[in-house]
Amino acid sequence: MLAFLARLDFFLLKGNLLRAYAGADMRHSTLLLSLTIAMLSAPAIAEPPDVKKLLAEARASFQPIAPTPVAKDSLQAVRAELGRRLFFENRVSADGNVSCAHCHLPEKQGSDGLPKAIGVFGKENPRNAPSIFTAALNVKQHWRGDRESLEEQAEKSLLGAASFGNPDQATAMGKLKAIPAYGGAFAKAFPDDKDPISSQNWGTAVAAFEWTLLAPSKFDAFLAGDVNALSPQERAGLRKFIDTGCAGCHNGAGLGGNSFQKFGVTEDYWKETGSKTPDKGRADVTKSDADLYVFKVPSLRNVAKTAPYFHDGSVDDLTRAVKIMGKAQLGKTLTDKDAAEIVAFLGSLTGPVPANYSAPEPYPDAGAQ
């Protein structure tokens, strides 16, 4: 409708100039003729200058996802393919039912849709499972940052009481060694190791696979210069996102995941989320009062598909989550229109499910035909 009105005004202005030219005296005819020719030769709709400004501001705060190409037959590719197999392997868990993929479903954009992840023997994890698709961009892993790297997170998950539930790494690796085909697969991926089936190599392989899961969205096309990759509403949401102050924490390639912040800067977060038991956050890791209620800023990539939200999964609606963040973090009350625009922008951060995010045919058990 706005584009139609702009075009109508444009042609009305042309008509007025032509009529003015017809009734003008000689003193004004030359000027009017020049203006008329300029108007008639100009394009009916030009790219709004604020779009270019928006793109420039976006590029100052965000970076596009840039997956690293991996040579097909390289050692890294071999490790990534082994990691893919391990990611979907459930026979390593204490009950034989849990794999890494158990809490990271493709239909949930790499999350699980639960407030708190459910692991081995139905045990509940203490926090929400974020999307795995952008985990490689995180400065540290887990909400509290108690895992330094993808590799450490993958390795230690084997011992997590509510994850894989193994009593020690030897038990976990013994289960892999009991599956004959893994011997050759690990030897190929770690040719210099005398005993390649190890928990450390498990972590290395799984992390190599997780690095292949970065999938750009249309927001990346926008950052690359295609301003029409985002709809007018999505661009309005991006403008609101930046002007409101959201980009102060949600920035970088992941729009988050690269820093830690207190949840509840202007007021206690649980008063807004309805959380029954406040989580002390990173303070339980660092033992510092300065980290009370501090959590890793979550990546907003794929956020429209990864409800429920926050570390405890206490909010299942994205619009409500946006309003809570405005109030608890920035001390701002967002209107319904503000929140709707921001949510529209957040939808542009959804990328495709990676083509390789599927379970391969499992290796047969020992003695199987």
Provide the residue ranges of all domains of the chain, joining segments of one domain with +: 2-46, 52-66+215-347, 75-213
Q: Do the first three CATH levels of 52-66+215-347 and 75-213 match, i.e. the same topology? A: yes
Domain 75-213: which CATH number of 3.40.190.10, 1.10.760.10, 3.40.50.10490, 1.10.1740.10: 1.10.760.10
H-state helical runs in 75-180: 75-87, 150-157, 169-177
Phi first, then psi: give them for residue 61, nearest 5 degrees.
-110, -30
Q: Going along 218-346, which residue ranges are E strands?
A: 260-262, 294-296
Q: Say yes or no to pLDDT of 118 above 50.
A: yes
Q: Say yes or no to pLDDT of 255 above 70.
A: yes
Q: Are 265 and 328 in contact (CB under 8 A)?
A: yes
Query: What span, in angstroms and rounded, lies between the C-alpha atoms of 369 and 360?
Result: 18
Which tens digit of pLDDT belongs to each residue from 57-114?
A: 999 999 999 887 777 889 999 999 999 999 999 999 999 999 999 999 999 999 999 9
Query: What span, in angstroms and rounded, lies between the C-alpha atoms of 273 and 250?
Result: 19
pLDDT on residue 109: 97
H-state helical runs in 24-74: 26-41, 49-61
pLDDT on residue 108: 97
Query: What span, in angstroms and rounded, lies between the C-alpha atoms of 153 and 140?
Result: 9
The 3-state DSSP class for residue 315 equals strand
- The mean pLDDT value for 244-263 works out to 98
Q: Are 146 and 190 in contact (CB under 8 A)?
A: no
User: What tokens does 107 get?
Assistant: 């239909």
Cβ partners under 8 Å of residue 186, min gap 6:
82, 176, 193, 196, 197, 201
- Rounded to 5°, the CA angle 85-75-152 comes to 60
Quick one: 52-66+215-347 is in which CATH superfamily? Cytochrome c-like domain (1.10.760.10)
Q: Say yes or no to pLDDT of 8 above 90.
A: no
| The length of the chain, given as a count of residues | 369
In the chain, what's the furthest Cα-to-Cα distance?
103
Q: 174 falls in which pLDDT band (50, 70, 90)?
A: very high
